[in-house]
């Protein structure tokens, strides 16, 4: 959950998001070292009156500033490609959920069940219970079992939307007439908030996403109750 004055990412709640955080720190350290080196060279050149007449024609310098950036790019590219493959990998999902974007709410369909689906609207500010978050709460949460591979099929009914939950490392465009898919594993129980991340009209800011990860037994009880009420 994000909080005021927060500078970094939200706490990771999935293996992919943990990998993304590690890669962010890895890339940030490389950027910091490069920036420090460049700043040092600039200050050194500006603050001294001495010059080297061979600095613009040095073969050694040309080799260094050609090879070193190539090595740095490889150090960034290799872990990045690994994470890209991890994010695309969807093997034997335990549950498939179809998320459909509308102006301006989400609807969810649990495709492994015959009749389990619902619409998810934002809770108006005046109806919030104590402790709930303004513009982030929904009347129906998307409940999933923790520590299970979940596949999300994402599409839209009208205009472009985007289904995004930062703590789970998930962001997928919802395109009318097209079915995109992504996956995640909630590594711990909890309630994770997201929002539509594609400007979709006047009430774009009022399309929250709430994912609740629970133990498998609690999910089975919840799904049974939802099927009875359907």
pLDDT per residue over 182-227, tens digit each? 999 999 999 999 999 999 999 999 999 999 999 999 999 999 998 8
Residue 21: per-residue pLDDT:
93
What does the H/E/C string look like for the chain? CCCCCCCCCCCCCCHHHHHHHHHHHHHHHHHHHHHHHHHHHHHHHHHCCCCCCCCCCCHHHHHHHHHHHHHHHHHHHHHHHHHHHHHHCCCCCCEEEEEEEECCEEEEEECCCCCCEEEECECCHHHCCCCCCCCCCECCCEEEECCCEEEEEEEECCCCEEEEEHHHCEEEEECECCCEEEEEECCCCEEEEEEECCCCCCCHHHCEEEEEEECHHHHHHHHHHHHHHC
Residue 223: per-residue pLDDT:
93
CATH architecture of 95-229: Sandwich (2.60)
Confidence label for 22 from pLDDT (cuts 50, 70 and 90): very high
Which residue spans of the chain are classified as CATH 2.60.40.420? 95-229
Arithmetic mean of pLDDT, 37-62: 81
Global pTM? 0.84
pLDDT per residue over 88-108, tens digit each? 888 889 999 999 999 999 999
Residue 211: per-residue pLDDT:
97
């Amino acid at each position: 959950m994000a909080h005021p004055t927060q500078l970094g990412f939200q706490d990771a709640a999935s293996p992919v998001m943990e990998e993304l955080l590690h890669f962010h720190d890895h890339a940030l350290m490389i950027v910091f070292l490069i920036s420090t080196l460049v700043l040092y060279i600039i200050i050194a050149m500006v603050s001294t009156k001495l010059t080297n007449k061979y600095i613009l024609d040095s073969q050694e310098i040309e080799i260094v500033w050609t090879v070193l950036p190539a090595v740095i790019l490889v150090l960034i590219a290799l872990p990045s490609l690994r994470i890209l493959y991890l994010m695309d990998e969807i093997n034997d999902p335990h549950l498939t959920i179809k998320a459909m974007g509308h102006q301006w709410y989400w609807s969810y369909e649990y495709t492994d069940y015959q009749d389990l689906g619902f619409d998810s609207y934002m809770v108006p500010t005046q109806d919030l219970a104590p402790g709930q978050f303004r513009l982030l709460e929904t009347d129906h949460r998307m409940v999933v079992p923790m520590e299970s591979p979940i596949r999300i099929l994402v599409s839209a009914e009208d205009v472009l939307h985007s289904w995004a939950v930062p703590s789970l490392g998930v962001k997928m465009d919802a395109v009318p007439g097209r079915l995109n898919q992504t996956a995640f594993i909630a590594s711990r129980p909890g309630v994770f908030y997201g929002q539509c991340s594609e400007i979709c009209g006047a009430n774009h800011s009022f399309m929250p996403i709430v994912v609740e990860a629970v133990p498998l037994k609690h999910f089975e009880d919840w799904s049974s109750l939802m099927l009875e009420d359907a």
